[in-house]
Structure 1
Amino acid sequence: MQRAVVNGPIPPAFNVWRGALAGASASLVGIGLARFAYTPLLPAIVSAHWFPASTAAYLGAANLGGYLAGALAGGWLARRFDATSVLRAMMLLATVAFVACAFPVSFLWFFVWRFASGLAGGALMVLAAPTVLAHVSPSRRGFASGAIFSGIGLGIVASGTIVPILLRQGLMETWLGLAAISLALTAVAWNGWPGRGESAAQHTTHHTRHGQTYPAASLRALYTEYALNAVGLVPHMIFLVDFVARGLGKGLDAGAQYWVLFGLGAIVGPLLTGHLADRAGFGPALRAAFVLQIAAVALLAVVRGPAALIVSSVVVGAFVPGIVALVLGRINELLAHHPAAQKGAWSAATTSFAVLQAVAAYGLSFLFAHDGGNYTALFVIGAASLALALAVDLFAALRLGPKQA
Structure 2
Amino acid sequence: MEEKVKIRAVLLGGFVVLLIAMGVGRFAYTPLLPPMMEQYGFDADDAGLLASLNYLGYLVGAFAAGALCRVLGEGRLLVVGLALSVLSTAATGLFLSLSAVGLLRLVAGLASAFCFVAASGAVLNALAREGRDGLAGLFYGGVGFGIVLSGLLAVPLLEQFNATGAWVALGLLSALLLWPVRGLLHGSPVQPRRKKAAAKPPLPRGGRFYRLVAAYGLEGFGYIITGTFLVAAAGTVFEAAGAAGVWIVAGCAAIPSAFLWSQAARRFGALPSLIAAYFLQAIGIALPVFFPNPVGVTLGALLFGGTFMGIVGMALATGGSLLPAGRARVIGLMTGIYGIGQIIGPFLAGFMAARTGSFDLSLIVAATAVCAGGLLLLPDALRGASSSSSPAP
Quick one: which of 138, 154, 169 aligns to 1:177? 169
CA–CA distance in structure 1, aligned partners of residues 176 and 137 of structure 2: 22
Alignment of 1:337-352 (within 5 A): 338-352=323-337
1:178 offset after TM fit, Å?
0.7
Alignment of 1:312-391 (within 5 A): 312-333=300-321, 335=322, 338-373=323-358, 375-391=359-375
Seen in structure 2, the aligned counterparts of structure 1 residues 304 and 220 have a Cα distance that, compared at 3 Å, is: same
Quick one: which of 255, 258, 261 aligns to 2:246? 258
CA–CA distance in structure 2, aligned partners of residues 230 and 214 of structure 1: 21
Quick one: which of 107, 114, 130 aligns to 1:116? 107
Match of 2:229 in 1: 239
Alignment of 1:296-307 (within 5 A): 296-307=284-295
1:114 offset after TM fit, Å?
1.4
CA–CA distance in structure 2, aligned partners of residues 140 and 147 of structure 1: 11
| CA shift digits 1:6-58 (9 cap, x unpaired) | xxxx9959811111111111111111111110112111122214544432432
Match of 1:4 in 2: none
Question: Is 1:148 the counterpart of 2:139 in the alignment?
Answer: yes
1:86 offset after TM fit, Å?
1.0
Quick one: which of 56, 68, 84 aligns to 1:65? 56
1:400 offset after TM fit, Å?
9.1
Alignment of 1:89-238 (within 5 A): 89-104=80-95, 106-137=97-128, 140-143=132-135, 145-168=136-159, 169-193=161-185, 194-196=187-189, 215-238=205-228
| CA shift digits 1:91-123 (9 cap, x unpaired) | 111111122212115332222111111100011
CA–CA distance in structure 1, aligned partners of residues 138 and 284 of structure 2: 23
Over aligned residues, Cα RMSD in angstroms? Answer: 2.7
1:304 offset after TM fit, Å?
2.3
Which protein shows a greater Rg?
1
**Paired residues of 1:92 and 1:186 also in contact (CA < 8 A):** no
Seen in structure 2, the aligned counterparts of structure 1 residues 114 and 199 have a Cα distance that, compared at 3 Å, is: closer
1:398 offset after TM fit, Å?
5.4
Larger deviation: 390-399 or 124-133?
390-399
In the alignment, residue 233 of structure 1 is paired with which amino acid? Y
In the alignment, residue 31 of structure 1 is paired with which amino acid? M
CA–CA distance in structure 1, aligned partners of residues 94 and 80 of structure 2: 22
**Paired residues of 2:18 and 2:143 also in contact (CA < 8 A):** yes
**Paired residues of 2:72 and 2:192 also in contact (CA < 8 A):** no
Question: Is 1:75 the counterpart of 2:66 in the alignment?
Answer: yes
CA–CA distance in structure 2, aligned partners of residues 252 and 126 of structure 1: 35
Number of corresponding residues? 379
Seen in structure 2, the aligned counterparts of structure 1 residues 288 and 242 have a Cα distance that, compared at 3 Å, is: same
**Secondary structure in 1 matching 2:317:** helix
Seen in structure 2, the aligned counterparts of structure 1 residues 116 and 305 have a Cα distance that, compared at 3 Å, is: same
1:330 offset after TM fit, Å?
1.0
In the alignment, residue 327 of structure 1 is paired with which amino acid? A
Seen in structure 2, the aligned counterparts of structure 1 residues 90 and 151 have a Cα distance that, compared at 3 Å, is: same
Seen in structure 2, the aligned counterparts of structure 1 residues 256 and 339 have a Cα distance that, compared at 3 Å, is: same
| TM-score, L = length of structure 1 | 0.86
| CA shift digits 1:287-341 (9 cap, x unpaired) | 22122122222322322233222221111012222111011111133x1xx4223
Match of 1:6 in 2: none
CA–CA distance in structure 2, aligned partners of residues 184 and 339 of structure 1: 34
**Paired residues of 1:11 and 1:198 also in contact (CA < 8 A):** no
**Paired residues of 2:94 and 2:168 also in contact (CA < 8 A):** no
Seen in structure 2, the aligned counterparts of structure 1 residues 401 and 280 have a Cα distance that, compared at 3 Å, is: closer
In the alignment, residue 97 of structure 2 is paired with which amino acid? S
CA–CA distance in structure 1, aligned partners of residues 231 and 63 of structure 2: 31
CA–CA distance in structure 2, aligned partners of residues 305 and 351 of structure 1: 36
**Paired residues of 2:75 and 2:190 also in contact (CA < 8 A):** no
Question: Is 1:286 the counterpart of 2:274 in the alignment?
Answer: yes
CA–CA distance in structure 1, aligned partners of residues 190 and 342 of structure 2: 37
Seen in structure 2, the aligned counterparts of structure 1 residues 178 and 390 have a Cα distance that, compared at 3 Å, is: same
CA–CA distance in structure 2, aligned partners of residues 111 and 371 of structure 1: 28
Seen in structure 2, the aligned counterparts of structure 1 residues 293 and 53 have a Cα distance that, compared at 3 Å, is: closer
Seen in structure 2, the aligned counterparts of structure 1 residues 180 and 72 have a Cα distance that, compared at 3 Å, is: same
CA–CA distance in structure 2, aligned partners of residues 324 and 199 of structure 1: 27
**Paired residues of 1:104 and 1:110 also in contact (CA < 8 A):** yes
In the alignment, residue 133 of structure 2 is paired with which amino acid? R
In the alignment, residue 189 of structure 2 is paired with which amino acid? R
